[in-house]
């Protein structure tokens, strides 16, 4: 690591699963910090378009790029992001799925689907990203993990395994590439209010020391910090954004 190195010009941030929720907030936040942003989405083209429009309206650069990270979209995503915007110097592995059920009832498909998207796809994208980053002597990989994984959540054995795996991967890859100016970190959101969780918010709040759910922008703020030049000496860590849930 060593010296403070500045982000190269035209540096692009690839954010997976950025059509809405936390991913969209991350994309907008990074764009506000001067990153060109590749807004990846799987099926919500309208959502991705809205994210891109919001970024452009604020004076930023972004393109929407369709691709299912769990089904081999990796190389293609990078090629399109680099052709349309610039070299990918930040990768935000945000795309995630759930398929909940008690372990005794979880079938192989539910297990594989969650591991493939949340963990294996993140690894493949990380491997691809880091190859360029180590040669550029600069890079940021930020994995969106979860409070689930480091701690239990009945009904999510697959998700917990994937997210705990993501944190383990984060630490090891971070040590492998640290001296090339590439940092690898995780952000672990707690209960964040999104479309997906809206009806659970009130009930969940009583288990959160802050007594309220977080906002996607709370998670984006952590990502923006880890992606910044100021965070060049922060690597291999997990930043919890959970209103104290994990404390």
Point out the catalytic residue in the list 41, 159, 225, 240: 159
Q: Identify the sign of the CA torsion 101, 102, 105, 111.
A: positive
Cβ atoms of residues 159 and 112 within 8 Å = no
Residues that bind another protein (CB under 8 A): 131, 134-135, 176-177, 179-180
Residue 206 CB, shortest distance to another protein, in Å, is: 47
- Please give the Cα distance from 238 to 219 (Å, whole number): 12
Active site residue 41: no
Output 164 or 178, the one with its CB closest to another protein: 178
| Max Cα-Cα span within the chain | 51
* Closest distance of CB 132 from another protein, Å: 9
* Residue 179 vs 211, nearer CB to another protein: 179
Q: Least distance in Å: CB of 128 to another protein?
A: 11
- Minimum Å distance from CB 208 to another protein? 41
Burial tier of 179 (Cβ tally within 10 Å: 0-12, 13-18, 19+): exposed
In the chain, at which residue ranges do the beta strands (DSSP E only) sit?
A: 12-15, 36-41, 62-66, 88-93, 139-144, 182-189, 238-241
CA angle 94, 96, 99 (to 5 degrees): 165
- Positions marked active-site: 159
């Amino acid at each position: 690591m060593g010296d403070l190195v500045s982000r190269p010009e035209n540096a692009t941030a690839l954010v997976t699963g950025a059509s809405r929720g936390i991913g969209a907030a991350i994309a907008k936040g990074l764009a506000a910090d001067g990153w060109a942003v590749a807004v990846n989405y799987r099926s919500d083209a309208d959502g991705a378009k809205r994210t891109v429009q919001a970024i452009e309206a604020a004076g930023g650069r972004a393109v929407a790029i369709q691709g299912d990270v769990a089904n081999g979209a990796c190389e293609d995503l990078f090629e399109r992001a680099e052709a349309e915007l610039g070299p990918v110097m930040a990768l935000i592995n945000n795309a995630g799925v759930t398929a909940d059920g008690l372990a005794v009832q979880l079938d192989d498909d539910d297990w594989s689907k969650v591991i493939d998207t949340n963990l294996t796809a993140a690894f493949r994208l990380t491997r691809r990203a880091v190859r360029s980053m180590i040669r550029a002597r600069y890079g940021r990989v930020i994995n969106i993990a979860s409070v689930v994984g480091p701690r239990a959540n009945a009904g999510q054995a697959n998700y917990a395994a994937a997210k705990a795996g993501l944190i383990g991967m984060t630490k090891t890859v971070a040590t492998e590439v640290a001296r090339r100016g590439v940092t690898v970190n995780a952000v672990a959101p707690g209960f964040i209010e999104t479309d997906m969780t809206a009806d659970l918010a009130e009930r969940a709040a009583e288990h959160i020391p802050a007594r309220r759910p977080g906002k996607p922008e709370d998670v984006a703020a952590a990502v923006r910090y880890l992606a910044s030049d100021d965070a060049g000496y922060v690597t291999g860590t997990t930043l919890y954004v959970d209103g104290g849930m994990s404390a």
